């Protein structure tokens, strides 16, 4: 019987039935951060359970920590107790912790792949919905709440219902100027923010196969914005080459055995998907969101849609509310819209390749005087590598603020926020009401679009000179 990659990943972790409808699924890696991770450790302690296998658990503070240069856990005081709980829990249980300022610290979904904590075929959870990012390596990776996180800490398993299998094929090749970020935003715009509900998405097709690893992580990162808790790409030589030699990746004979096993992690050619979708990659232009859901997205040169053209009553109401919140009129393109802030960062787009792409555009230019522009590297390692290449100098001399690794303006849980009413072009993943700060207006885009727009002071179509 032909199998999907989801079937193979599920079967490889199925310990036992958990009663009708669910399975006990083994969890190979548990990632803890200073909000949900600290809470889950506290919950395990309160309930009197232990941590089943601390060697498979990793911790790093990223959410409620300042990203100001020279920061400590105390710089953002309200976040300090969470970091303290994480440190104390890690010490007590023997959990590996990558602390502020140390090699390895970073946004969990940036540091876990870069350290080889995430590997193909592993089941990986974190109390963070963007854990699906790590599916870019071919892992079964997904976000959970803090109670389920505590369950996994105590038992090394979760009780889960198997999701349905969805495939999204991106056929053909991307045009010049189109990145993985544009592609996934376009897919969400086409299929909807709830399209993947109840599903695990396998991203496939020629355009996906051609993506380097970091772009695959970006693509899978936004699976959850299409409604799917899980997103992944079948691992291949590109992934194996990228992972070889990383800190927690196997070595020697163990590496060879692992790669041999990972080569079977793919869907059979004749596998059946519950939902099978496709898009032509060559038709995808640079995308920018206009509203307050990632599905409110258009090509940068297209007109903002009118609520009158919404497909149903619910969306008509949502579109009208989004336009009012964003202070926009339908009928005009986003291109040329003045902006106040630019944020280059987050688990979506703060890897070295993202920073290189942005720096190449910024080099020798200056940020528009009315724009506040930030670069927040995704991890300590990304930061150090970027500094070794001089990217920090490129950004700084253009007028960007060059900061310490963390989630920062993507989630605004650390005292850093876009002011009310200000318009921010952001490389992050969510344009929800108030996400980047109370009353803040977010437009999601690629690092290239963000960098060019910071210089111009308005939203730019990077296919044209600016």
Partner 1 sequence: MQRFDRVTGPAAPLLRPNIDTDVIIRAERLVGTPKEEMGRYAFEAWRYRSDGTEDPGFVLNRPPFRSAPILLAGPNFGCGSSREAAVWALAGIGVRCVIAPSVSDIFAGNALQNGLLPVVLPEETVRGLAALIEADPDRARITVDLEAQTVIGPDGAVHPFAIDPDRREALLAGLDDIGLTLRQAGAIAAWQAEDRRRRPWVWLEALT
- 125 or 300: whose CB is closer to partner 1? 125
What is the x/- site pattern for partner 1, positions 27-66, by CB under 8 A?
-x------xx--x-------x-x----xxx------xx--
The only residue of 435, 441, 443, 458 in contact with partner 1, by rule CB under 8 A? 435
- 118 or 211: whose CB is closer to partner 1? 118
The only residue of 210, 275, 277, 412 in contact with partner 1, by rule CB under 8 A? 412
Residue for token pair 């792949």:
113
* Residues found in the chain: 466
Report, in Å, the least distance between residue 216 CB and partner 1: 21
Dihedral sign for Cα atoms in the order 177, 181, 182, 187: positive
Report, in Å, the least distance between residue 141 CB and partner 1: 12
Instruction: Report if residue 164 touches partner 1, rule: CB under 8 A.
Output: no
Q: Are strands 164-171 and 423-426 parallel, antiparallel or unpaired?
A: unpaired
Instruction: Report if residue 198 touches partner 1, rule: CB under 8 A.
Output: yes
With CB under 8 A as the rule, give the number of residues binding partner 1. Answer: 85
E-strand ranges in 240-360 read: 275-280, 287-289, 297-299, 341-344
| 237-296 positions binding partner 1, by CB under 8 A | 248-250, 254-255, 257-258, 261, 293, 295
The only residue of 68, 154, 363, 422 in contact with partner 1, by rule CB under 8 A? 154
CA distances from 141 to 134, 136, 185, 255, 389 (A): 6, 9, 20, 21, 32
Q: What is the DSSP string of 83-138?
A: HHHHHHHHHHHT-EE--TTSTT-B-HHHHHHHTTSS-TT-EEEESSGGGGGGGGGT
What is the x/- site pattern for partner 1, positions 89-108, by CB under 8 A?
-----xxx------------
What is the token pair recorded at 328? 């926009």
Rama region for 390: left / alpha / beta (φ>0; ψ in -120 to 50; rest): left
The only residue of 172, 305, 307, 434 in contact with partner 1, by rule CB under 8 A? 434
Q: Give dist(CA 344, CA 415) in Å, integer.
A: 17
HSE of 286 in the Cβ direction (CA atoms, 13 Å)? 24
Instruction: Report if residue 318 touches partner 1, rule: CB under 8 A.
Output: yes
Interface region with partner 1, contact rule CB under 8 A, candidates 18-26, 66-74, 178-186, 231-239? 18-26
Report, in Å, the least distance between residue 118 CB and partner 1: 12
Interface region with partner 1, contact rule CB under 8 A, candidates 223-231, 299-307, 353-361, 384-392? 223-231
| 413-432 positions binding partner 1, by CB under 8 A | 413, 430, 432
- 158 or 217: whose CB is closer to partner 1? 158
Q: Are strands 199-204 and 230-232 parallel, antiparallel or unpaired?
A: parallel
| 338-397 positions binding partner 1, by CB under 8 A | none
Report, in Å, the least distance between residue 250 CB and partner 1: 4
Instruction: Report if residue 114 touches partner 1, rule: CB under 8 A.
Output: no
Residue for token pair 């990228």:
242
DSSP code, position 285: P
Alpha helices in 213-312 (DSSP H): 213-221, 237-243, 252-262
Report, in Å, the least distance between residue 225 CB and partner 1: 8
Question: Do 74 and 114 meet the contact criterion of CB atoms below 8 Å apart?
Answer: no
What is the token pair recorded at 4? 């999907």
The only residue of 277, 321, 385, 422 in contact with partner 1, by rule CB under 8 A? 321
């Amino acid at each position: 019987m032909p199998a999907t990659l989801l079937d193979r990943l599920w079967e490889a972790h199925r310990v036992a039935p958990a009663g009708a409808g669910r399975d006990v699924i083994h969890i190979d890696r548990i990632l803890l951060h200073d909000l949900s991770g600290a809470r889950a450790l506290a919950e395990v302690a309160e309930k009197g359970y232990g941590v089943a296998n601390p060697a498979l658990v990793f911790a790093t503070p990223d959410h409620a920590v300042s990203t100001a240069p020279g920061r400590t856990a105390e710089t953002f005081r309200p976040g300090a107790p969470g970091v303290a709980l994480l440190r104390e829990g890690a010490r007590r249980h023997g959990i590996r912790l990558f602390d502020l300022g140390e090699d390895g610290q970073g946004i969990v979904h940036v540091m876990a792949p870069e350290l080889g904590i995430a590997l193909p075929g592993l089941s990986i959870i974190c109390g963070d919905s963007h854990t699906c990012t790590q599916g870019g390596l071919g892992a079964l990776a997904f976000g959970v709440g803090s109670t389920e996180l505590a369950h996994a800490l105590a038992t090394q398993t979760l009780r889960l219902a198997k999701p349905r299998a969805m495939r999204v094929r991106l056929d053909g090749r991307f045009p010049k100027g189109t990145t993985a970020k544009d592609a996934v935003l376009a897919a969400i715009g086409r299929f909807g923010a709830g399209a993947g509900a109840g599903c695990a998405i396998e991203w496939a097709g020629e355009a996906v196969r051609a993506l380097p690893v970091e772009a695959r992580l970006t693509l899978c990162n936004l699976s959850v914005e299409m409604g799917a808790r899980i997103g992944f790409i079948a691992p291949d030589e590109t992934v194996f080459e990228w992972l070889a030699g990383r800190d927690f990746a196997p070595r020697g004979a163990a590496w060879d055995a692992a790669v041999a096993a990972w080569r079977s992690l793919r869907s059979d050619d004749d596998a059946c998907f519950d939902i099978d979708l496709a898009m032509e990659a060559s038709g995808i232009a640079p995308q920018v969101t206009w509203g307050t859901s990632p599905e409110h997205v258009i090509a940068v040169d297209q007109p903002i849609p009118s609520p009158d053209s919404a497909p149903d009553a619910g969306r008509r109401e949502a579109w009208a509310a989004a336009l009012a919140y964003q202070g926009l009129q339908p009928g005009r393109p986003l291109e040329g819209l003045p902006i106040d802030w630019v944020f280059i960062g987050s688990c979506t787009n703060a890897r070295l390749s993202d920073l290189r792409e942005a720096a190449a555009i910024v080099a020798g230019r200056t940020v528009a005087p009315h724009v506040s522009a930030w670069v927040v590297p995704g991890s300590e390692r990304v930061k150090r590598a970027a500094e070794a290449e001089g990217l920090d100098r490129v950004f700084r001399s253009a007028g960007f603020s060059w900061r310490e690794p963390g989630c920062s303006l993507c989630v605004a849980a650390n005292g850093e926020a876009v002011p009310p009413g200000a318009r921010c072009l952001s490389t992050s993943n969510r344009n929800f009401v108030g996400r980047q700060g109370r009353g803040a207006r977010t437009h999601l885009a690629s690092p290239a679009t963000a960098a060019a727009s910071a210089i111009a002071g308005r939203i730019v179509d990077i296919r044209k000179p600016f």
